[in-house]
């Protein structure tokens, strides 16, 4: 193979990428995720943990207190999160509908030492982000009042409760898991998946558009055509991954071992690109090749995730600086897989090229 021929094919494919709207939209989507990762981190985390938003809220919310006097009113008044307006229930609900209030709290006239439970009613706006924050902040106040009621009614207990030694929860876990367990692997490995799907399109479109014979009639061999397309797709991966890592750092996300991450992603993406190349050379039809490759990719990813030192886990450990010598073992094993797949691709492309020349 001649390096000049490979560079010609690679440049041709790079110019053609600007006409691939699907690829450009996928890249723009990744750019949006990386550029606004801090915003997405807060938004997506709040979907499964609304209490995380309360850490960032310093606003004092207007709430109405209706019903009888209770320690709940004292807790609300002394809280820095609320401005309390005593009013009757109907006025409070009307003000809530006009969004003049964030919540309305109604406390019944049930004495603390009564036999029946104290049922406090909370009115908030439905499907409102602010209501999620208010609910979390009010929960702490209600828990304090619940503790007071338990103390008043402690004489009713016939059995001594078993004390539970529950470790104190530490903050920031949700954000840590989201950023390093999902966001960084998603952004960095997505270019590899796109590149492997792209190489299938680049090869199968030569068959479907019947332009392969024209390329083979030039001094460029079929093997050089294949490797030129592989080179173009592979070069996309470290460029995109580097851009995403830089944007994440600009967003204030600390990433260790950025260079090793790029090496690991580039090597792993080479495996996926070669698998896509072999699939395209075998089926030579876009729909069939993409379906078979997508199915095989899901199986390969599931098998990889079953291993403790899989590339996704290793990438997370590299990003937080806890990876050990196993990173080099994984890197070496991946290079061996590349060597095998590369030889298979070269031999398969050479055999197809000879058959076309002889035909």
Per-residue pLDDT reduced to its tens digit, 165-190:
766 655 555 567 777 777 788 778 88
Terminal C-alpha separation, the chain: 22
Nearest partner of 170 among 13, 288, 294, 55, judged by Cα: 55
Backbone angles phi, psi at 228, to 5 degrees: -65, -40
Give the pTM: 0.63
- Ranges of H-type helices in the chain: 3-17, 21-35, 37-48, 71-78, 89-97, 129-152, 173-178, 184-208, 212-216, 222-250, 258-283, 286-305, 311-320, 326-358
Could you list the mean pLDDT of each consecutive 10-residue stretch along the chain, which spans 359 residues? 72 66 63 59 54 59 90 89 90 91 91 87 80 83 89 75 67 64 80 86 81 70 86 86 82 83 90 91 87 87 77 82 82 90 89 69
pLDDT of residue 357: 56
Dihedral sign (CA 298, 304, 306, 312) = negative
Contacts of 80 (CB under 8 A, 6+ apart): 60
pLDDT (0 to 100) of residue 336:
94
What are the domain boundaries of the chain?
3-35+172-358, 51-152
Domain 51-152 annotated CATH 3.30.1490.100: no
- What pLDDT score was predicted for residue 338? 92
User: What confidence score (pLDDT) does residue 57 get?
Assistant: 54
| Whether 203 contacts 195, CB under 8 Å | no
CA-to-CA distance for 202 and 206, rounded, in angstroms? Answer: 7
Contact between 203 and 286 under an 8 Å Cβ cutoff? The reply is no
To the nearest 10°, the Cα dihedral for 243, 248, 252, 255? Answer: -90
pLDDT, tens digit (0-9, with 9 covering 90-100), for 257-290? 888 889 988 998 999 999 999 999 888 888 888 8
**pLDDT score at 114:** 85
Return the H-helix or E-strand segment holding 106. strand 103-107
> b/e map of 193-229 (b: 16 or more CB within 10 Å)?
bbbbbbbbbbbbebbeeeebeebbeeebbbbbbbbbb
In 3D space, the residue among 119, 121, 117 whose CA is nearest the CA of residue 156 turns out to be: 117
pLDDT for the residue 31: 67
At residue 110's C-alpha, the angle toward residues 107 and 114, to 5°, is 145
Residues 6 or more apart whose Cβ sits within 8 Å of residue 247: 31, 34, 35, 37
- Measured CA to CA, the distance from residue 245 to residue 255 in angstroms comes to 8
């Amino acid at each position: 193979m001649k390096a000049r021929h490979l560079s010609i094919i690679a440049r041709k494919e790079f110019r053609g990428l600007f006409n691939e709207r699907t690829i450009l939209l996928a890249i723009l989507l990744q750019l949006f995720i990386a550029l606004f990762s801090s915003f997405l981190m807060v938004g997506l985390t709040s979907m499964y943990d609304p209490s995380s938003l309360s850490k960032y809220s310093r606003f004092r919310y207007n709430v109405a207190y209706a019903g009888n006097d209770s320690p709940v009113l004292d807790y609300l008044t002394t809280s820095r999160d609320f401005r309390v307006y005593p009013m009757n229930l109907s006025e409070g609900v009307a003000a809530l509908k006009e969004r003049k209030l964030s919540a309305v709290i109604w406390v019944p006239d049930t004495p603390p030492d009564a036999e029946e439970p104290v049922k406090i009613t909370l009115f908030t706006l439905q499907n409102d982000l602010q209501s999620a924050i208010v609910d979390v902040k009010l929960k702490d106040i209600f828990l304090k009042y619940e503790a007071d009621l338990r103390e008043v009614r402690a004489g009713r207990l016939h059995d001594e409760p078993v004390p539970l030694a529950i470790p104190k929860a530490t903050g920031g876990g949700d954000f840590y898991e989201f950023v390093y367990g999902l966001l960084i692997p998603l952004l960095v490995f997505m270019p590899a998946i796109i590149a492997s799907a792209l190489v299938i399109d680049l090869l199968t479109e030569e068959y479907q558009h019947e332009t392969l014979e024209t390329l083979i009639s030039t001094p460029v061999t079929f093997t050089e055509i294949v490797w030129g397309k592989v080179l173009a797709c592979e070069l996309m991966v470290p460029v995109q991954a580097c851009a995403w890592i830089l944007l994440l750092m600009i967003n204030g996300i600390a990433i260790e071992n950025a260079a090793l991450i790029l090496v690991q992603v580039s090597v792993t993406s080479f495996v996926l690109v070669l698998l896509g190349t072999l699939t395209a050379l075998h089926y030579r039809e876009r729909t069939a090749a993409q379906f078979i490759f997508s199915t095989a990719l899901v199986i390969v990813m599931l098998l990889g995730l079953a291993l403790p030192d899989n590339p996704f886990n290793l990438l997370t450990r590299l990003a937080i600086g806890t990876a050990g010598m196993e990173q080099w073992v994984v890197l070496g094993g991946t290079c061996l897989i590349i060597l095998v797949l590369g030889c298979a691709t070269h031999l398969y492309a050479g055999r197809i090229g000879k058959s076309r020349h002889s035909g």
